[in-house]
């Protein structure tokens, strides 16, 4: 009988993966190797050729978009296969708990709490705790559930707060008494349900004779344990993933799940999909050569039948402005929609936005707002706007209670308006001062603190070297810095990096009223220009490396390839973090179809200060024969590296770090030409730093 076209069109390894039968199967699918095609074709093959009922097939993935695409493809291959259950992990958990949750006290109509609901419930339990602290508790509860840990387990690595187990326990007790579940429960409780109820577990195992898991490298501990409960000796289990693309450790993903799959499921057959259908030969050679430096991987080597193509270009540039100019020159051909500029942190987008607008190159930001539209940036600019124009009511309303000063709507009305609906004063700073005595209690203290801040800033402005230094002081004195540091800690964001980049942007302007007005005017013009370009579809994509997963472009620029930025400096001594950063580099490289540009700067301005930079260690791992180099790499002997650092931070040096407090240097080593110091802090934390990149955060204390 003639094979269907959807089977004959596969390459040899793809076909082996599709027709494999009972034993556990691990498909190692390299970037661009047709992974989704193999998964969907395998489902079609099981139904059409082996006679499996679609009802007996469960396929899980990580996003609703991926699940919808998989369903659509399966149905187009075999119309009778639409009965297969294809869901996200969490959607499957919700389905399971609504039908079987009674032993856990869940009704089929239970409500799923989102992050705001969780925060609201915590607030009712712990009214005296500030909102930021409640956010951190909520985050840690979610992390504990991702690791299948109950309030009675050892939670020391989740939170150093000795009260955290109590918070977690009281939250769980209240949530269970209400009869609802939060997002983490959809996996956590599903695993618990099956572990404690053999009858339900047996029924599920009997129904789902085939289980497929896509993007397995992104699974966490709870998802792995749920999978264990679903699998029986008779299950046809298949997982698909790429250990080299595991880049979500910060979200709880465990690369060990895929690395240890053969140990957890004996008799596993491993099939490697190494033929790439996306990129040219030189690009694939670079990607494979770099990621081969990781020890924690199962190993594969991408190849292609396509031509070798253009060699990737590595450009050494003087600073981030030259970096953006370099990218703009390559984009002069107008082929913008097929081009992407990648960076490690969102803060790096500012210079690219500025330079691309200068050359009238349209762009779109993926996964974030335009730099000057971000909340933390708008908050800082509101302070500057109000200092420039005390009649700016929009700016005034934004700053008056940001961060919180206890000034509510009633107090704000007393400050702004009289008995009618008119402003008491066009000068809102005067109105603020006139309200002293009228506004009482906590709000009154808040008004006084804001008045003091504004007076202090006006005195400070002419004393600063430039507007960036003034803005740095304003962000610190206003409380915005501490406010967003806490948010970064809770939400795993990089808002402080954006504040630092805003300081850098302001550094070119004098610290006076004229410089302030010029800076604010430039931003307004930039924003107006951006709004005009919104309708153009031919735009360069600006995107973080993490957000590129699953995307591809003809031309890719990977920027900021410097130590301390990529890989990031805080994780310098953690080999697991370095391996994840290297995997992120691999993912970024394999987004490129035809052209790849890598950029590294000799100097980079951070928080208003120009710092010497060293090339990323990953650049030393590039294969020379597959890369063209423009410019000269900075010489370590010509300004940084081994010069004089050893004596600056000897063991025993007392230092202060704004994030970690007071500490003492306990170790000094040279690594790859860089000084690395290890600091033990009084809080109990031990951290590693590169002084040449993070020295501006380290303040030496007297002995």
Catalytic residue positions? 35-36, 214-215, 245, 591
* Burial readout 29-39 (b: 16 or more C-beta within 10 A, e: otherwise): bbbbbbbbbbb
Q: Does 33 count as an annotated binding residue? A: yes
Please give the full DSSP string across 220-279, using - where no structure is assigned: -HHHHHHHHHH--TT-EEEEEE-GGG---GGGT--THHHHTHHHHSTT-EEEEE-B-SSS
Q: Does 684 count as an annotated binding residue? A: no
Q: How far apart are CA 471 and CA 388, in angstroms?
A: 13
Q: How far apart are CA 287 and CA 32, in angstroms?
A: 12
Joined tokens for residue 4: 């269907």
Q: How far apart are CA 434 and CA 430, in angstroms?
A: 6
Q: Does 349 count as an annotated binding residue? A: no
- CA distances to 324, 362, 424 from 334, rounded to whole Å, are 16, 10, 54
Q: Looking at the chain, how many residues does it have?
A: 703
**DSSP label of 465:** S
Spatial CB neighbours of 3, under 8 Å, sequence gap ≥ 6: none
Residue 681 pairs in a beta bridge with: 663
Tell whether omega for the bond before 687 is within 30 degrees of 0, i.e. cis.
no
Three-state SS at 199: helix
Count of beta carbons in the 10 Å neighbourhood of residue 353:
20
Q: Does 36 count as an annotated binding residue? A: yes
Contact 654, 701 (CB under 8 A): yes
Instruction: Give the residue among 620, 592, 615 at the shortest CA–CA distance from 602.
Output: 615
Q: Does 31 count as an annotated binding residue? A: yes
Count of beta carbons in the 10 Å neighbourhood of residue 586:
27
Q: Please state the residue numbers annotated as binding site.
A: 29-36
Q: Please state the residue numbers annotated as binding site for ATP.
A: 29-36
């Amino acid at each position: 009988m003639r094979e269907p076209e959807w089977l004959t069109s596969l390459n040899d390894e793809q076909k082996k993966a599709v027709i494999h039968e009972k034993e556990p199967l691990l498909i190692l699918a390299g970037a661009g190797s047709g992974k989704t095609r193999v998964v969907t074709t395998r489902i079609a093959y099981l139904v059409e050729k082996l006679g499996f009922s679609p009802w007996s097939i469960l396929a899980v993935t990580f996003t609703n978009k991926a699940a919808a695409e998989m369903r659509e493809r399966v149905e187009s291959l075999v119309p009778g296969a639409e009965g297969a259950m294809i869901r996200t992990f969490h959607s499957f958990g919700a389905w399971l708990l609504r039908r079987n949750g009674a032993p856990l006290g869940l009704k089929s109509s239970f409500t799923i709490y989102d992050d705001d609901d969780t925060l609201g419930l915590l607030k009712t339990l712990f009214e005296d705790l500030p909102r930021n602290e409640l956010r951190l508790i909520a985050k840690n509860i979610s992390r504990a559930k991702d690791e299948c840990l109950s309030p009675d387990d050892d939670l020391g690595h989740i939170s150093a707060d000795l009260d955290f187990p109590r918070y977690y326990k009281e939250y769980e007790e209240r949530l269970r008494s209400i009869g609802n579940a939060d997002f983490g429960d959809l996996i956590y409780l599903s695993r618990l349900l099956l572990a404690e109820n053999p009858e339900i577990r047996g029924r599920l195992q009997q129904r789902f004779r085939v289980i497929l898991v896509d993007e397995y490298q992104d699974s966490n501990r709870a998802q792995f344990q749920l999978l264990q409960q679903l699998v029986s000796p008779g299950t046809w289990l298949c997982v698909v993933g790429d250990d080299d693309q595991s880049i979500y450790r910060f979200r709880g993903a465990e690369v060990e799940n895929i690395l240890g799959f053969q140990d957890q499921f004996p008799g596993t057959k491993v099939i490697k999909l190494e033929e790439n259908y996306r990129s040219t030969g030189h690009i694939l050679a670079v990607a494979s050569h770099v990621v081969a430096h990781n020890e924690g991987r199962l190993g594969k080597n991408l190849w292609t039948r396509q031509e070798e193509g253009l060699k990737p270009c590595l450009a050494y540039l003087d600073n981030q402005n030259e970096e953006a100019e370099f990218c703009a020159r390559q984009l002069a051909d107008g082929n913008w929609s097929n081009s992407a500029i990648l960076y490690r942190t969102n803060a790096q987008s500012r210079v690219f936005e500025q330079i691309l607008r200068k050359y009238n190159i349209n762009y779109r930001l993926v996964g974030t707002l335009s730099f000057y539209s971000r909340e933390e940036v708008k908050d800082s600019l509101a302070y500057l706007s109000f200092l420039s124009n005390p009649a700016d009511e929009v700016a005034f309303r934004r700053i008056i209670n940001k961060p919180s000063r206890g000034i509510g709507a009633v107090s704000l009305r007393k400050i702004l308006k009289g008995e009618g609906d008119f402003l008491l004063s066009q000068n809102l700073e005067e109105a603020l001062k006139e309200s002293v005595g009228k506004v009482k209690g906590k709000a009154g203290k808040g008004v006084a603190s804001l008045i003091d801040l504004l007076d202090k800033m006006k005195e400070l402005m002419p004393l600063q070297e430039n507007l960036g230094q003034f803005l740095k002081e304003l962000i610190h004195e206003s409380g915005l810095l501490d406010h967003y540091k806490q948010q970064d800690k809770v939400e795993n964001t990089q808002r402080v990096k954006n504040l630092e980049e805003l300081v850098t942007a302001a550094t070119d302007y004098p610290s006076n009223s004229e410089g302030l007005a010029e800076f604010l005017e430039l931003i307004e013009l930039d924003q107006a220009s951006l709004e005009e370009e919104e309708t153009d579809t031919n735009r360069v994509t600006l995107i973080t490396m993490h957000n590129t997963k699953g995307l591809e472009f003809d031309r890719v620029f990977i920027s900021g390839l410097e130590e301390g930025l990529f890989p990031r400096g805080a994780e310098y001594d953690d080999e697991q973090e370095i391996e994840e950063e290297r995997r992120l580099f691999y993912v970024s490289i394999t987004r490129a179809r035809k052209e790849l540009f890598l950029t590294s700067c000799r100097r980079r301005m951070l928080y208003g200060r120009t710092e010497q930079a060293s090339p990323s260690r990953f650049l030393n791992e590039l294969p020379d024969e597959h890369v063209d180099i423009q410019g000269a790499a900075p010489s370590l002997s010509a300004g940084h590296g081994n010069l004089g650092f050893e004596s600056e931070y000897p063991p025993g040096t007392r230092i202060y770090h704004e994030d970690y407090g007071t500490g003492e240097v306990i170790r000094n080593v040279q690594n790859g030409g860089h000084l690395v110091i290890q600091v033990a802090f009084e809080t109990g934390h031990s951290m590693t730093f590169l002084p040449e990149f993070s020295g501006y955060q380290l303040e030496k204390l007297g002995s």
